[in-house]
Each structure stands twice: as C-alpha cells, then as structure tokens.
C-alpha cells in the first residue's frame, strides 16, 4: 500500500510540474506578444508597412522589421 501511495505521489508531482512549466511558458509568451503590440501601437516616428503577405511590418524610414501582432484586414480568418 505504501509503495502505490509513493508512486501516485511522484506521478502527481511530476504532472503538476509539467503543467506548471507549460503555464509559465505560455504566460511569458503572452507577455512578450503584449509588449510587442504596445511597442507597435506607441511608435510615433516609424511608418509601418506590411511586408511578406502581411505577417511582418517594416518601417519605411529606418527599415526596422517587426512581427505583426494585429491581423491584417484583407486576410480571411479560418481559411487554411
């Protein structure tokens, strides 16, 4: 009985660690995307222009390249 309790405890702790790590990675990814979105929205000196089918933005003044966060309006969502 004690061996099965120990095995169950180790399995649950391992599963909890995996779920916790996946949650933290997702939170870090969302934070990075939020910061990128805020940087694009707050930029006053750049003139962003869509590049490579609308998935990237490029400044026409300094050629700074950034990933586009907000979807382009001419692409249909849900069509693969």
Q: Is 31 left (phi over 0), alpha (psi -120 to 50) or beta?
A: alpha
Judge whether residue 76 has pLDDT over 60: no
Strand residue runs (E) in 1-80: 48-51, 56-59, 65-67
Q: Which tens digit of pLDDT belongs to each residue from 22-39?
A: 999 999 999 988 887 777
Give how far the C-alpha of residue 74 lies from the chain's centroid of Cα atoms, to the nearest Å: 22
Q: pLDDT value at position 73?
A: 58
Judge whether residue 78 has pLDDT over 50: no
Q: How many residues does the chain have?
A: 80
Inter-residue contact 53 to 67 (CB < 8 Å): no
- Rounded to two decimals, the pTM is 0.52
């Amino acid at each position: 009985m004690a061996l099965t309790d120990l095995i169950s405890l180790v399995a649950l702790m391992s599963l909890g660690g995996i779920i916790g790590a996946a949650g933290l990675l997702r939170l870090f990814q969302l934070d990075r995307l939020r910061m990128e979105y805020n940087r694009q929205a707050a930029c006053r000196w750049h003139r962003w222009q869509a590049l490579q089918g609308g998935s990237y933005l490029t400044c026409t003044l300094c050629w700074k390249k950034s990933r586009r966060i907000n979807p382009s309006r001419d692409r249909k969502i849900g069509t693969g």
